[in-house]
Amino acid sequence: MTRFGRATLVVATAVALVLAGGTATTLAGTPADGGANTVGAQETTTVEQNETTRSETATATETGTETAEASYTQTPHMGCQPGAIEKNGTCQPVTSGSNADIFSAENLAPITAKNTTINGTPGYLARPADDGEYPSVVMIHEWWGLNQNIRHMADILAGHGYVVFAVDLYDGRVATNSSTASELATEVRNNPDEAVAKMGRATEGIRDLPYTTEKVASLGWCFGGGQSLQLSLSETELNATVIYYGTLTTNESVLRDIDAPVLGIFGAEDQVVGIESVREFNRTLADLGVQKEIHVYEGAAHAFANPSGESFHPEATKDAWEKTLRFLDETLREDGQS
């Protein structure tokens, strides 16, 4: 999507798709919403957004540096499903025609967006253009970095009535091949406390903005899913946690600190975040009495919500996104509705 001048989002037609080979299973002990097996029909719709502002880095809030500690060590892995990586060792990032194109984009509100820094943490801030106070989401990118795909996702979520700050854990660097992405992700994983501190400062800073409420959630995919969990386990207070197939910890003493409620989205065929790890994560949260929803999509592999490579599963992605929007509405809004 181009964001110079007026931007247009087109929602593709979905005709009551049954998730053949992509049915979501809600693990035992988690609430089910009854909508795991179908994606509702939608008409083809065009939504216009107002002109989006893109600026050079501008400081929104500045405070002193805080210290924070990561709660577990993430397992190093490729950002693509094993076996889907090409013979030369690469897999391709989304650069156009991104996964945001398949998400529900009906009735989006006009937004404004810019590159900015919040509490010393760089990123991309997208928010509704209308005056008011909105709940917030700290969004964490995949191992590719803060690319156009993640910015597009921030735009769409902002259009649903959220202030979205997509943090940049790579300080402006974006990978376009797997070797660079691996180097950047490893750099962060080797200094996890710094990443947690950056995300924590951004979370506190976003609460202080004049157009936000006190409620903030974290949301991330793959590398960012693991970082979303790290932020939730830190001393930073969140009102909800969303994890898309991020590497997990199942240590009960560590998970006591998680910020509930928790939404977990996983694929049954994921060879990076194995199904047994997901089940143990679910059981441990249940034992701790943590409010959560853990959904596992049959036939879906690691990074199934990203259309690069063989793992992309569009129907499962649509259903997972609908669950994500519902979850955020229920946990961050006073009336539980967008």
Residue 215: count of CB within 10 angstroms of its CB = 19
Residue 191 confidence (pLDDT): 93
Cut 0.85: pTM above it? no
Q: Over 60: is that where the pLDDT of 158 sits?
A: yes
Q: Are 241 and 203 in contact (CB under 8 A)?
A: no
8 to 52, 115, 162, 198: CA distances (angstroms): 11, 20, 19, 32
Distance of CA 227 to the CA centre of its chain: 10
| Structural domains of the chain ordered from first start | 7-332 (3.40.50.1820)
Task: Give residue 47's pLDDT.
Answer: 25
C-alpha to C-alpha distance for 11 and 105, rounded to whole angstroms: 6
Residue 154 has pLDDT above 80, yes or no: yes
**Hey, is 48 helix, strand or coil?**
strand
Q: Which two tokens stand for residue 110?
A: 């006009």
Is residue 11 within 8 A of residue 106, CB to CB? The reply is: yes
Separation between Cα atoms, residue 239 and residue 258, nearest integer Å: 10
What is the tens place of the pLDDT at every residue in 243-261?
A: 999 999 999 999 999 999 9
CB 193 within 8 A of CB 69: yes
Rounded distance between C-alpha atoms, residue 175 and residue 186, angstroms: 13
At residue 274, what is the residue type? G
Instruction: With beta carbons less than 8 A apart as the criterion, state whether 135 and 46 touch.
Output: no
Residues contacting 225, CB < 8 A, separation 6+: 140, 243, 244, 245, 246, 247
Enumerate residues 6+ apart whose C-beta is below 8 A from 227: 140, 169, 188, 195, 199, 220, 246
**What are the pLDDT digits (tens) for 204-229?**
999 999 999 999 999 999 999 999 99
Give the mean pLDDT of the chain: 79
Q: Are 137 and 108 in contact (CB under 8 A)?
A: no
From first CA to last CA, the distance across the chain in angstroms is 24
159: nearest Cα among 338, 4, 337 = 338
88-108 pLDDT tens trace? 555 555 544 455 556 766 778
